[in-house]
Amino acid sequence: MRLEREIQDWIVQLVDENGWSGGSNLYSVLRYDSSPLSQEMKAQVERFDVAALAPSRHRAVPEACRVLRSLVEPRLLSSDTNIAVIPGQTLKPDLVLEDVISGAYVIVELKRSKKAAREFATELLAYANCLIQQRPGSTVFLVLVSTSWAPLEQFAFAELARRNIPVLALEYREEPPGEGSPTLWVRSDLLPIASVNSFPSNALLVDTKVFWLPQSWQLGWSNSAPWMNRIEHAVGALVREAEQGHASGFVLIWYLPHEVPSQVGNRPEVRVFVSVAIRNPSHSKAYDEFNDEQESRDFTRPHDPYASIDDTAVRLLLNLELGRGVQSFSSESEGTWDDLRARLERENACILRFDGFGEIGYQVSRWRTQKRYSLHPLVPDITVLPAWHPLTWLAALESLIDLGEQEDGDSLAWHAFRLGEGLSKIANPYLAPHKGRHFGNTAAQARFARTWCDFFATHKGAPNLSTQIDNSGFRCPQIQQELAIRFASSRIAEEGELANLCFALGYQAGSGCDNIDYLVSQRHKLRNDGICLPQKLDARLDELDRHYKQRFRPSTTMWVPPRSER
C-alpha cells in the first residue's frame, strides 16, 4: 500500500463503527521503538502508570500519551466527509474518530513526505476549530500519519506540539521484518522532549499588588466567603489571561496575620497581597560576543537596562480588580523569588491561595499527582491538603528554580548536608509558634516531608512515620520527628566521618541549634587526618563560627565609677 487512499482504507478496516471490538485492532498495529521515551510512553498508556514518564519530560509527551490512549477503542465517525457547516466551505479530513472511553474526537490526516508541511498543519488546525465550534467544550486530538518524515514536516509537527496541541506522529511501515502486516510506529523522537531546565531564581521576577480590605472581612474566618469569591474570580481571570499569553509563572495571595489594621478614613482596613511571578525569557546580549570590554560598555550605555525585563506580571496586575469598595495600589517589584520567599518567612505570612500557570503550572500539577502516592509513607493523601499548603507546590516550584549553591568537591558530603538541612528545619524554634497558614511553618513541613520520603524510599528499616491531617496541614509528632532524624544520622554516620560532620552542619543550618563548638572541633580533627570539607561548606562553617563568637563575645570595657563615688 503505497498510496494515501490505500493506507486510509486499511485504517478504516481496523476501526469498527461501534468502537467496541475493532478499536483494539487499530491499537494492535501500533509499535514503540526501544528508546527510553517510547518505552515510558508505552508504560503510561498500557499500564496507566502515571509515574512512568520522567518528571523532566516536556508537557507535549503526556499529551501525546492521551492521544495514544484514545486509539484503544475508537469509533469511526467519517471518512473524507465535508464537516464544514458554512455553505460553500469544504473541510474534508481523511478520518474523524471518536474515543468511546473519553468522548474525545481524533482527526487523522495522512500525508506523504512530498506534501508541504504548512499544508497539513493548516488543514489540521482548520479541522479542529470546525469540530470545536460544532461541539463546544469537546476535546480534539490530532494524529499525523506519513510514510516518512521530511525536515519541513518535522518542524511543523514540533511547532504544533510546542503550542500544547495534543498531537501524535505515526509512521506507516509496509510489513517490516518480523511483522506479518503493516504497522504504525510511534515517532516519539519528533516530540519536543527537552525538559523544563532549571533556571536561576533571578529569571523569575515577582510583582505585588496591595488591596485594602475592610476589617470586617476577618481574614481566615468562614464568613469571609463573599470576599474570597471575589478574589477567586479575579485571580482566575488573571490566570486564564496569562495562559493565553503563553506565560509561565504563579500567583500567590497572602496577608500578614499580626498586622495592625490601618485607619483609612472612618474605617480600619487590612492589606491583602497578590504576588505574580513570571518566568523572564529575556536575556541581555552576552558580553563574550563583543570584541573587548570597551565595546561592551559602549553597547550597554545607550540601552535601558530594563528593556530586557518581561513586564507581563505588571500588565496582568494592572487589570486585576476586586470590584467596588476595594482600594488598591499599583504593583511594585518584590525582586526575585528568593526575595519574596525571604519576605514570606521573615514576616510570618499566611498563604491564602497558590496558582501555577504555563509550564510551571504544569510541572506543579504533575508533581501533585505523582506525590499523592509517593508521599504516602508520611502524608496519607496529599490531595486532602488545601491547595495553598506549600507541600503541594513548593517542592515542584523549587525544583524548577536553581536555588541551591553550586556543589563542589565530595558529592556524598553535599548529600549529607542537604539531608540534615531538609530534616531539621521543622525543628527550628523560631517556627514553633507559627501555625496554620504561616509560610515558614508549612514550608518547613514541606521540606521535612519531601526529604524524609526520599530518604525513606532508599533506606531499608527506616521508620514509617504517622501523621495527623487537619485544616492547617499535616502534623508529625515531635517524638517521631526526632526518631526520623536519629535514624538518618545513624545511616549517614556509616558513610564516614566527613558525611557525619556535613549532616550535623546541615542540621545546624536548618534548625539554628547551638552546636558550633562541636562542628569546629570535629573539623579540626578531620583536618589532622587529612580530610577536608568541600570548600563552600568549609566557608559556611567559618561564617557560623564568626557569627556565634561575635554573638556571645564578652564586653571588653569596664564600668568605672565617678570620682565622687570612689
Per-residue pLDDT band for 17 (boundaries 50, 70, 90) equals: low
| CB 500, CB 412: distance < 8 Å | no
341 vs 268, residue with greater confidence: 341
218 shares its domain with 119: no
Of 155, 190, 225, which one is at a domain's C-terminal end? 190
* 109 touches 93 (CB < 8 A): yes
d(CA 202, CA 179): 54
Spatial strand order in the sheet of 140-146 = 30-31, 183-186, 167-173, 140-146, 105-111, 95-99, 74-79
CATH of the domain at 9: 3.40.1350.10
pLDDT score for 480: 84
pLDDT attached to residue 276: 93
What domain range is 127 assigned to? 4-190
**Residue 108 three-state SS:** strand
Pick from 251, 262, 158: nearest CA to 206: 251
Q: How confident is the model at residue 315 (pLDDT cuts 50, 70, 90)?
A: confident
Least confident of 163-167, 192-196, 436-440, 534-538: 192-196
The reply to whether 289 and 323 lie within a common domain is yes
Position 252 pLDDT exceeds 90? yes
44 and 89, same domain (yes or no)? yes
By three-state DSSP, how is residue 12 classified? helix
pLDDT at res. 5: 82
Of 190, 208, 242, which closes a domain? Answer: 190
Residue 81 in grid coordinates: 466527509
Which residues is 169 bridged to in the sheet?
Answer: 144
Q: Are 178 and 222 members of one domain?
A: no
In this structure, are 215 and 122 located in the same domain?
A: no
Q: CB of 367 within 8 A of CB of 59?
A: no
Cα-based angle 230, 346, 465 (whole degrees, multiple of 5):
85
Q: Which residue has the higher pLDDT, 545 or 556?
A: 545
pLDDT score for 559: 39
Are both 303 and 327 inside the same structural domain? Answer: yes
Residue 515 cell numbers, joined: 552546636
pLDDT value at 306 more than 60: no
Predicted pLDDT of residue 219: 58
Question: Helix 497-511 and helix 478-493: axis angle, to 10°?
Answer: 150
Q: Which of 531, 482, 497 is nearest to 416 (CA)?
A: 497
| 452 domain-assigned | yes
- pLDDT higher than threshold 70 for residue 293: no
Cell numbers standing for residue 247: 506565560
Amino acid at the residue 73: E
236: nearest Cα among 397, 388, 355: 355
Give the residue-averaged pLDDT of 514-526: 83
In sequence order, what E strands does 47-139 have? 74-79, 95-99, 105-111
Task: Write down the pLDDT at residue 304.
Answer: 42
Residue at which a domain ends, from 190, 209, 239: 190
Q: Say yes or no to pLDDT of 100 above 80.
A: yes
- What percent of the chain is modeled with pLDDT above 90? 8
pLDDT, one tens digit per residue, over 383-432 is 778 888 888 899 888 888 776 666 666 778 888 888 888 888 777 767 66
**Concatenated DSSP letters of 350-368:** EEEEEEEEHHHHHHHHHHH
- Inside any domain, residue 394: no
Q: Evaluate whether residue 389 is within a structural domain.
A: no
Q: How confident is the model at residue 320 (pLDDT cuts 50, 70, 90)?
A: confident
Same domain, 161 and 209: no
pLDDT surpassing 80 at residue 227: no
pTM beyond 0.75: no
Residue 370 falls inside a structural domain? no
pLDDT at 512 over 60: yes
Three-class DSSP category at 496: coil
**273 falls within a domain:** yes
Q: Which residues of 204-239 are buried (b: 16+ CB within 10 A; e: fewer)?
A: bbbbbbebbbeeebebeeeebeebeebbeebbeebb
Q: Please report which confidence band the pLDDT of residue 285 belongs to, taking 50, 70 and 90 as the band edges.
A: very low
Whether 41 and 171 share a structural domain: yes
Is there a single domain that holds both residue 135 and residue 244?
no
For the chain, what is the mean pLDDT? 78
For 145, other C-beta atoms within 10 Å of its C-beta total: 20
On whether both 475 and 443 belong to a single domain, the answer is yes
Please indicate, yes or no, whether residues 472 and 345 belong to a single structural domain of this protein.
no
Asked if residue 414 and residue 304 are part of one domain, the reply reads no
Would you say the C-alpha torsion 118, 119, 121, 125 has a positive or negative sign?
A: positive
Q: How far is CA 131 from CA 60, 66, 94, 166, in A?
A: 22, 18, 14, 15
pLDDT at 250: 93
Cell representation of residue 16: 469498527
Q: In total, how many domains does the chain have? A: 3
Does 388 reside within a domain? no
377 in a domain, yes or no? no
- Name the least confident of 259-268, 400-409, 465-474, 526-535: 259-268
Identify whether 538 is part of a domain.
yes
Predicted pLDDT at 301: 46
pLDDT of residue 230 exceeding 60, the answer is yes
284 vs 210, higher pLDDT? 210
Q: Crossing angle, helix 117-134 and helix 151-162, to 10 degrees?
A: 30
Query: Residue 207 belongs to what H/E stretch?
Result: strand 204-214
**Cell numbers found for residue 279:** 518566568
C-alpha span between 79 and 110 (Å, rounded): 12
Query: Tell me: the pLDDT tens digits for 121-172?
Result: 788 888 888 888 888 878 889 998 888 887 777 788 877 887 778 889 999 8
